[in-house]
Chain A
């Protein structure tokens, strides 16, 4: 197997390269003194920078800045909303789609996982049947786009349905910004969650948006930061970096260019291996994600051989040990254990070029 010297990164859904400008902003932020809660000049200066960042994030999402609560990332944001609504008594039950991220799904009793169809979209009829007659208020969680397949979920329809039954909607939008031109305000969801490092920002910072007056008990209690929703001294450099990344993302939409590359890639994959299976291709997806199986070749083998050849991709959900389990998303779509265990995810982004993808296809074809 030929080895490429230059690494080719095709795992943007896991994390993205930091925008160089964000790196500059971060290093400045790490160099400035001050606690945003202090009343002196140093404190005021950091406070100002955090609020500027909130403004930038709010513009990217299209919601009022006052509804944004910063957190340590998508997992904390999801957990705060789910546990916070349960703990406050604002909801008495939780449901979610069967393909949610574990930071949502693992809060929900498996009997309350709403199935998806074989193209990876939540089954609205099933949702209707499950919710009918349920005692409100409850919480329904559904992601904007699935991290493994990229399949967009019919959030507006879900919101309408859930609201009809008196429930609240949490929409995990972590894979959304920069990968779709959708207007987040039109989703109708009561809570939205985001993460900075999926849009060229730093790891360890994210936020949730409260479009609802529902009572939400904070996970962290203390100094009352973030409108008492999330105590603890703010991760000021992280938040400032998030703001900078949000600004750049809003200004430089490349959704069409990326989806064009993705389509070219998928055509090349299918040309190279006629038995390859690409999941969710028939329905609307975000611009950058391809989930493809080579029946008979395990995901584990594919990943290792691609890594040794210089390509970074991912598969299923890797345990912290590095052991790969079959994708719960593909299994939920009715894909067999065997085929699900032979799928990998290719997620591209702003630095991906067609020559990179051509090299990838060349090696992938030999697996």
Chain B
């Protein structure tokens, strides 16, 4: 990573702000201006808005860039649009499509933070002479004696720590999150106080590049050819008919399967890309006590997860609350095992498992397929297995 620039002596320190055109990043920019920084607004152009919404004649940028420009103008800062369309497609959209084709349920916002936002945008901000990059995320960053740690936002309902687990310590050193201590209603009232046009703008929902929530269209765009139809199979082994292609399903899904006539409601409990099978079963089959996660980013101090078992809280979906868990090093480098005392339902491969200790974010990883649904920690299971072998 390139070195962090130092602003010239006597000049105001320069700070770049990632501006999406929404309320949060707009207020973030206005706050930094008020605090006396030399603020530079940066907006990433990630995809062709006109094409995504099938309004071919509209501008590639859409309303959000327009809004970001208006805010930048209002608060009196330079504003630039960076064309990241190609890398966003390569680093976010295509992996998103491929993840679904592998039977996973991806979280593209995390991939985006990992790649275009905290790799490329940080690099650009440094190139433009900024000492730091600020974003409008609801998350807290604490710095004590040069050690930077990440903590859940004061406004728990807006906390974005789930989407930021992959932020590396090096990136954190350069990042600032001015809204971590602020509640969303406070942000809105600040927007009004700063007289920003977007003060009343609705929060963004869903995935930015997926028009009207139809993610399967995005996947189809990158995989031409026949539909990937396959079979529904019940956990008890009997065939339940044809499905539309594994990318249409997510583990834990109940609605829209088109499978009726069973005594108990059926859920997707497993997606098997190898033989193109969607396994369905009653809710009990969704229970998971242990999962494996890959590409772990550890922010809990030290180089990696401590040896042995560490008591943490873990969160397997953004909409879930963290629950008590034990974590230990996994079978391979950068992998971890996470054991839950109480079974979790709807744990889906491709989602993130984020680790906490109270308010502090300890990192996280990507949930791998498989897992265990018995309530025995793996070390005990291993011990029992070895004991059984010995007999």
Binary interface encoding of chain B residues 124-135 relative to chain A, with 1 for a CB under 8 A from any of its CBs, else 0: 100111000000
B65 within 8 A of A: yes
Contact status B40-A323, CB under 8 Å: no
A319 partner, pick from B61, B79, B80, B128, beta carbons under 8 A: B61
Binary interface encoding of chain A residues 299-341 relative to chain B, with 1 for a CB under 8 A from any of its CBs, else 0: 0110011011000000000011111110000000000000000
A88 within 8 A of B: no
A1 within 8 A of B: yes
Binary interface encoding of chain B residues 76-115 relative to chain A, with 1 for a CB under 8 A from any of its CBs, else 0: 0011111100000000000000000000000000000000
Contact status A319-B60, CB under 8 Å: yes
Contact status B129-A300, CB under 8 Å: no
Minimum Cβ distance to chain A for residue B49 (Å): 9
A-B contacts, 10 listed (Cβ < 8 Å) = A300-B83, A304-B128, A305-B128, A305-B129, A308-B129, A320-B59, A321-B61, A321-B81, A323-B60, A323-B81
Contact status A321-B45, CB under 8 Å: yes
Binary interface encoding of chain B residues 52-67 relative to chain A, with 1 for a CB under 8 A from any of its CBs, else 0: 0000000111000110
Q: Could you say which residues of chain B place their CB within 8 Å of the CB of A307? A: 78, 80
**Top 5 nearest A-B pairs by Cβ distance?**
A321-B61, A322-B81, A323-B45, A323-B83, A321-B65
Number of A-B contacts (CB under 8 A): 46
Interchain CA distance A2-B79 in the complex, whole Å = 19
Contact status B80-A304, CB under 8 Å: yes
Minimum Cβ distance to chain B for residue A21 (Å): 30
* A contact residues vs B (CB 8 Å cutoff): 1-3, 300-301, 304-305, 307-308, 319-325
- What total of chain B residues lie within 8 Å of the partner, measured CB to CB? 21
B36 within 8 A of A: no
B308 within 8 A of A: no
B329-351 interface (Cβ within 8 A of A): none
**Besides A319-B60, A321-B61, A323-B83, 15 other A-B contacts (C-beta < 8 A):** A3-B11, A301-B124, A301-B127, A304-B80, A305-B129, A307-B78, A308-B78, A319-B59, A319-B61, A321-B81, A322-B69, A322-B81, A323-B45, A323-B81, A324-B83
Minimum Cβ distance to chain A for residue B54 (Å): 18
Q: Could you say which residues of chain B place their CB within 8 Å of the CB of A323? A: 45, 60-61, 81, 83
Q: Could you say which residues of chain A place their CB within 8 Å of the CB of B258? A: none
Contact status A1-B129, CB under 8 Å: yes
Chain B residue at minimal CB-CB distance from A324: B83
Q: Could you say which residues of chain A place their CB within 8 Å of the CB of B185? A: none
Binary interface encoding of chain B residues 241-267 relative to chain A, with 1 for a CB under 8 A from any of its CBs, else 0: 000000000000000000000000000
Q: Could you say which residues of chain A place their CB within 8 Å of the CB of B127? A: 301, 305
B8 within 8 A of A: yes
Chain A residue at minimal CB-CB distance from B11: A3
Interchain CA distance A323-B61 in the complex, whole Å = 8
Q: Could you say which residues of chain B place their CB within 8 Å of the CB of A319? A: 59-61
Chain B CB within 10 Å, residue with most, of A2, A304, A322: A322
Contact status B65-A3, CB under 8 Å: no
Contact status A308-B128, CB under 8 Å: yes
B40 partner, pick from A300, A308, A320, beta carbons under 8 A: A308
Contact status B80-A322, CB under 8 Å: yes
Chain B residue at minimal CB-CB distance from A320: B59
Interchain CA distance A3-B129 in the complex, whole Å = 11
Chain B residue at minimal CB-CB distance from A298: B83
Interchain CA distance A300-B85 in the complex, whole Å = 13
Chain B CB within 10 Å, residue with most, of A2, A308, A324, A325: A308
Chain A residue at minimal CB-CB distance from B69: A322
Q: Could you say which residues of chain B place their CB within 8 Å of the CB of A301? A: 124, 127
Q: Could you say which residues of chain A place their CB within 8 Å of the CB of B78? A: 307-308
Interchain CA distance A307-B72 in the complex, whole Å = 15
Chain A residue at minimal CB-CB distance from B127: A301
Minimum Cβ distance to chain A for residue B51 (Å): 13
Minimum Cβ distance to chain B for residue A32 (Å): 33
Q: Could you say which residues of chain B place their CB within 8 Å of the CB of A308? A: 40, 78, 128-129
Interchain CA distance A256-B257 in the complex, whole Å = 77
Chain A CB within 10 Å, residue with most, of B11, B40, B127: B127
Chain B residue at minimal CB-CB distance from A1: B129
Minimum Cβ distance to chain B for residue A83 (Å): 18
Chain B residue at minimal CB-CB distance from A301: B127
Minimum Cβ distance to chain A for residue B20 (Å): 14
Interchain CA distance A325-B60 in the complex, whole Å = 12
Contact status B8-A3, CB under 8 Å: yes
Chain A residue at minimal CB-CB distance from B14: A308
Known contacts A300-B83, A321-B81, A2 near B59 by CB under 8 Å: no
Q: Could you say which residues of chain B place their CB within 8 Å of the CB of A321? A: 45, 59-61, 65-66, 81
Chain B residue at minimal CB-CB distance from A321: B61
Minimum Cβ distance to chain A for residue B73 (Å): 12
Minimum Cβ distance to chain B for residue A183 (Å): 41
Interchain CA distance A301-B61 in the complex, whole Å = 19
Q: Could you say which residues of chain A place their CB within 8 Å of the CB of B8? A: 2-3
Binary interface encoding of chain B residues 261-293 relative to chain A, with 1 for a CB under 8 A from any of its CBs, else 0: 000000000000000000000000000000000
Chain A CB within 10 Å, residue with most, of B11, B61, B81: B81
